[in-house]
Structure formats: C-alpha cells, structure tokens
Structure 1
Amino acid sequence: MRMKRRFLYTIITIVLSVSVSMGAATAAVSYRHLSTTNGTTILLVEGSFETGDDPQHIALELAASPAKYIAFNSAGGDRSIAMAFGKAIRKTGLPTLQTKGSPCLETCLLAFMGGLSRYAEDESIGISVETFATSAESDGRLNPSVSAALKDYLGTMGVSASLLDAALSMPLGQSKELNLVDMAGYQLVTAQLNEESASADEVQDIQPTDQAGAVEVFNEFQRVWSGSSSEAVAFLRNVYADRIQYYGKDLSREDVLKEKSAFVDRWPTRIYTARPGSVHALCADKCSVFGVVDWYAFSATRKKGASGAVNLALTWDPVSRRIVSETGRVIETDKAVAGPDRIIRRWILDATACSIGNAVDAEVCKSRSILEADLNSSGWCDQRGLGWRQCASP
C-alpha cells in the first residue's frame, strides 16, 4: 500500500505563498527556481509580460536547472508576449501548475495555457474581460483579426474558444473564479492532482485503462440512476467510498445515501443521460470525469415534473474502484415541465445524427438506443406518425 503523503498542491502553495511575494514595482519577467519539501522542482515565472521580455529565455533557465513544473506569479501584461511565452512553454513539453498561493492574473492565463499538461487547484483560476482584452478594448468588442488570433491560439493550446466568449461577456471590473467543473468544461485543465499523490513522477503515470474505467463508471452512474429506485440506491452503496466529498461537504457514505434515497422518493421517475462527446476523464492517481448530463424527473403522486442539464463531475479511485467525490453545477432548467420534452429532443437529435451512418460516431447511436429504452420504461412510446406520446395502457 502506498504511504499517504501530503497533498502536492499544499506543499507548493506553502512554498509559493511564503517564499515568494510579487511587488507592485515588478516591471518585467524574472525567474526563480524552487524546490518543494518532497523534492519537486518548479520554475517560477514572475512579473509582468513586457515587450522587452524574451520567451526563449525559459529554455535557457531549464537547461541551467531542470524543473518538473512551470508556475506563475504574475499580474499579466502584454497579451502578445504572454501568448509567446505560452508557445515557448509548449515547446519545453512541461506541465504548468496554478495554485491559490500564487497569482496568475489577466493575460498570465494565456501563458499558463502553454503547459502540455495543466494542473490547477479548485478556484485558483479567475477570468475577466482583462484576461483577453486590453484597456482600449475594455468594452469587450475585439477587432475581428484579434479575436480570430486569440481563438486560433486557444485552439492550438487545446482550450475551448467558449472561454474567450465567456470572459468578454462579463461586466467590466468583475472576475469569476472557476471551479474544476468549469475548468474542465473549458479544457483549461488536463488532469487533477489529489490528496494522496505520492510524487510528481507518479502523477505522470496515467494508465489509459484508468480513463476508460472512469468513463464507464460515469456512464453506468447515469444508466442506473435512471432505473428503479432500489437498484439506484444499491448501486451507489457499492460504488461510493466510505467518505465522499459531496458538493463541497465531507460526508459519510450513509449520509449521502440518505440524501439520494430522499431524492428518489420525491422523484420516482428519472431519466439521466450524458450528452454524446461531452464525457472525458482526467487522471492522475485518481480520475476526475466530467460530462454534461440532461435530466428529467417526474412524480405521478405530486403530478410534478422537472428537467434541465447539469455539468457533473465524479472523482473515481482506480485502485479501490470507488467514487470519492461528486459535484456539479446546473447549467439549464426548463419551465412548465409536463413531460420529458428535453429527453425527446435529445432522442430526435441522436436519431437524426445516427441515420447519417458512417459520418457519425457510434456513441450517438448508442445514446439513441439508451434514450429510447429510458423513455419506454418511463411510460413514453414513439407512436408511428404521431411522435412520442404516453404509452397506451395494456
């Protein structure tokens, strides 16, 4: 059994927050080589990004003193120079690291994106208009060529262009801290370090079978949660760890099961289905799986229905094969829910895409079949020529 060690982020946060402080007079980029108490080496990029800074100097710093991570202590600076630093970092093949103990503000996030792998603590990254726009563009209306260049850069770095749209739509002077669900949705993070990470070397040892297993658990979670109430609770009893980080609370398995049991009693009919292409796993010593889940719930006794969509995240331990964390954020809710309209729309989209044949991934066809079975078991049938209606009583 691996010896439980202190959380790598905790150590790095202490190092950065205690031994490094960013002075307001810092005018250009400088470098500091740090070593954590467990021997992990970090190249810290400090200061603002100015036109006189040479991004290629990073390679010289690493040649003189190799590092396992690149981190930042920066208030931002020139946008084009920050992107040049990101490109230079990508050439090194090193991961970038963001913690709450050291700021990476505004355009610094563009340099952070350069990491071949990107790790971040929950709510350690914030976005604002200033992340992408200069003071002259502070109304959020970028020149089309600038917007295109930024989206091309994000695409090159594997970050969703929706991050740019989200930042530019925010009110001036406001920022938003991102949780891990948001970061994963924007593809800002590519993996997650966890409390029992033994070393940086172990973090790099990601097994594809772990990622596949985590995705399988995520999908099975939705399938069973759409089934009978007794089967759903029994499944969770077997798949949850003894203690769970449940929507920000540290709870026992029994406490979580009480909440789940109360939910299924309130909503006996449930359909939960992950959108095709939205589920992906980020693995270090544990795997975090993220996906957009459409849902419908109905109570015949109360004659009430509800539906919407949620960004759901589960953290799964491939060693114990247990879920150790569950969290999420509702992103869509429907009004005046009389039936599973949302799920039916999903079925129509998947069925249409599946009919294209070879141009469609098999995942969409599988999703269509699952949705059809879920709708049938919930009392809804596809009546030829009439569309989806409540099934006729036998």
Structure 2
Amino acid sequence: MGVYSGIAHAEITIERVPIDDATPVLLLKGEFTSTDNPEQLVREVASSGAKVITFNSDGGNVVSAMAYGRTIRKLGLSTLQLRSTQCASACTLAFVGGIIRQAEPGAIGVHQSSFSPDAAIDGPTAVAAVQALTAQIITYLVEMEVDPKLLQLSLSVPSDDMRYLTSNEMQTYKVTWGNLANSKSTASNAQTVPTTEPAEALATEAAPPTAEEKARAFVAEYYGAWSRKNSDALSFLEKAYAKTVDFFGKPTPNSSVLAEKRDFANRWPIRAYSVKAGSMQVTCTETCKAEGVVDWYAKRDVGDRVSSGSAEFSFVLDWSSGVVLSESGKVILTDKNVTRPVRLIAQWEELNSSCRGGSGDLPETHLACERRESVGDKLQAVGWCYGREGEYGYQMQWHACETTSYKVEGSAGGSSTSTFKRPVPSDYPVQARFSGQTVMPDFKGRDREYNSFRTRIRDGMRKGPDFAGRYTLIQIGCGSGCSFVVVANNQTCRPSSFPRGGEEHMYLSLDFRRDSRLVAAQWLNYETKTCVVEFFDFERDHWKAVSKTSVGGEEACYRTVTQNLR
C-alpha cells in the first residue's frame, strides 16, 4: 500500500449481483484511480438498496481506495470477499471500510506500493510523499479499527510480489470483523461473485446432509476435539461412544473405553491429529464405516518426550444417533528422534500449495483452503507458529511459538555435555549502552553490500538493540536450514557480519542478551555430522572466540543451546 498500489486494468465500475429474495450485492471492479468519484457508489446504493459490497480489483490509487472505504463506512455497508475474485493491494483499504467484513482465506492480498510508472519524481520528493501518505494510511487504519501492523506487513513484501492473508492473519489484524450470517443480503446466497457479467443467483436452500457426509463430519469433529485440551477432548468423548463398543476387536463397556482415553490424554496432554487428505473412505448401509489414515503429534508435559507418526483408523458409526459402535486401527509409521510436528506441517504445506495455486472457483480449492486453516489452528494449539514478524514468502516457516532466541526446531536426541564449562554472560559486561535514536545504514553508499537485505535490517533495527548494549542481531534465511546474521550498530548505523553462517554452518541458532557481549552460536558441521556450540566475545567491534564444544550428532542441532548444555 502506498502512493500507487497494484496493477489493474480499468477504473472502478459498479455492477449489481442479483441475490434471491434479497437486495443485490454491489461488485466494484477495476482500478482505483485519482479521477474516481465515490459518489457513484452513494447513488447506486440509494437506487439498489444494497447492503453488501464485494470487489474484483488488483489495486490502484491509495487515496481513492481510502475515499471509497470511508464512503462504505459512512453508508453503513458490509464487505465480503470471495477467493474466486480478488481484492489486492490498495483494494484492501477500501475493503476494511465495511462495518462487517468477511473474506475467504487467500482473497485479500498486500504488498509494498510504488509510484506509477509514468510518474517523474525525484528522490527527496518521493521520500516526502511516501512519508506523508504512510501517515495518512496509519490514520485511516486506526479510524477503521484495523491494526496498523498490517501496514508493516505490507511494507515487508516487495511491490512485484503479493502476500495473501490467511484467515488467522485477517482476524489478528482485524481485516475481518463480525459475521454476515444473519444478514438478509449476502453474496453467500449466490454460488460465486461473477468475474465478468452478473449471473443468475442459484437456489439458496441447502440439501440435508447425507449419512456419508455426517460420518465424514463426525470423524473431523472427533479428531478436532481430540486435538484440544483434555477437558474439551474428554467432554466430547463422553458423548461419542455407545454404551458398549467393539473396541479393537473386543466388546468393551463405554466406561472402560473412556478410562483408557483419559489415561492416554493425561500422559500426552499436548496433541494434534489430522486425517490425511484423500485417505478417508466411507460406506453406509444401516451403519456407516469410516476408514482412513490420521497423522499425529503428541507431547508429554514433562521430559519433552514427543510421539509422531501415522495410523490407520476405522470407525463404525450409528449415523442416526452419531455414536461410535466400533473402533479399531493400527500404527503404520512412527517418526524417531523428532520434536517437530513434521507430518502436520507437511499436510499444511501441501494444502497451502493447493489453496494458493488452485483455481479460485473450484470446490477442491476452497476445500484445501478450509483444511489448511484447520491444520494451522491445530499446529498453533500445540505451540507452533508460522513465520515471524517482518518475514514473508520463502522466509516464513513453522517454528515453536515459545522460541525467543534464534533457533531451528526439529529432531531431538543425543545427550547434553557434562564436562564443558559454559561461559557466564555476566562475565562479559557491555562496554557502552545505546542512547538517542537509531540511525539506519547507508544502503546506497558505504553499506551498499547489505542493500539486498535492507528491509530485514531496518525492521530489526527499528525494534531497538537486543545485544551488547547497542547492537541488533538480525538473522536472515538463505534456504532450507541455511541462514546468516547481520550485526547492526544502532548507535553508529554500521552493519557487519557475524563470523558464522551460510551453508558452512547449517541450522545456525544464537543465544544472546542485551546486557552482555557473549554470544553462543550453535551449528552443524556437515563433514563430521556433529553439532557444535561456540562462544564468542564481541569486544570493541571485534569477535573473539572464547570456547567450543561438540554437543552430539546432527539431531542435537535441533535443540536449543540451553537444552544441549544442561
């Protein structure tokens, strides 16, 4: 978002999308331009009685988009965005004008703005224009009750790329708000919003679910509940089983089944279970049999022990009452020495590719997007987060939410060293503390070798020093398992490089403090397949090696420095 945002094809036009037994939805199509007049929307709303606005726009002029957003808010309209069309770049600003805002995952896109290719403008003027408009956008977002951090996310994405928001991100930034379910005039009554000419709306009344659909829904709900905290999971299970269950080939009282489930839940209180896409088969006669494969991740509450793998499952359901008559299954794969929910992450990544890469109007694309959100919710519930602040695109990965120092989570194993004496941070006090305002590097001159990473460096420095009094350590990805670290001096604005990183030091993780010059660097030595921890003293802008030790094999590099040196 900014001066000019997106590449669109025509100025804004308004079309009516007819809805059965309701007022039409208004579709705003094309490019927001400086010549647009939001009064045309006022007239169209007065004429049609519309209550809901939707978009098919790649962006355009930001000022015009905000003007439309304010008009939408003034008229008390709601906004709805389907993935079969698009609202990207500046269009996002118009969308958040809705008093109620709903959008499908992947329907809203953001990125940096740029000046129009035809604009003839010098550097100082451009900087002043961007600063002024950025202030306007922040004011507008606050006015619309949207988190201004949305702008920060937008600025982290290059203008030739696009970042489509997930459902969780839209809720976090308050891009979406409220619920249109009770509205008499919503585009959900139509199959899709047309991308060209409005089409006849289809019948709105949904057919009752079939027995097979009920069975599939039950299995999804079962594993969804089993992935929640114990109280919620066990509350669901208490109502899920018949009085007597054929439990793994043996008639078993309901109470015994629940006792076994309760015992497992107490031993493994952190759980995430997800049925593999396309694996479930359901056949229904008087009862329904549902069979498939489920991936799981479970963790003990003590000892950090993790269980991960895949299992076959089989349920026989009384589809009329929705209870389990029979349950069986078997483990088919287990993952050794892992701490990550590797199988659920793999599911999410596959679904994310299908959601982002599929045709927006295909049912399977919508299903992939919905399943991606479901798997993502389960991952977050067990303590895993996607991406960090300031990251985008290929840099974003799933990582442990509780991570506070830079590290990669993954396989576990090996043992901690008992002979190595770990240096104490307080023995390496800072020599100078930061004062005043952070000064940014000269990326066009003296520091141009860091120009390619200027956005990450600026974002990191804006947060203030986090190491040795006045420095910021900024870790930047360079591929799977590969990263390097920029050491930025917030006082003198000069960036420099950390002595470890790149493909020679894979799985690099750092442990450091603001009040100490000491840094612990952990990395994998590929030649010897050993995980190494090194300590460095950053004295007077020079790195001095303090000590070094091996903490185990490759799997040890997926634990933290503290865990390896206990």
- Structure-1-length-normalised TM-score: 0.49
Structure with the largest fraction of helix: 1
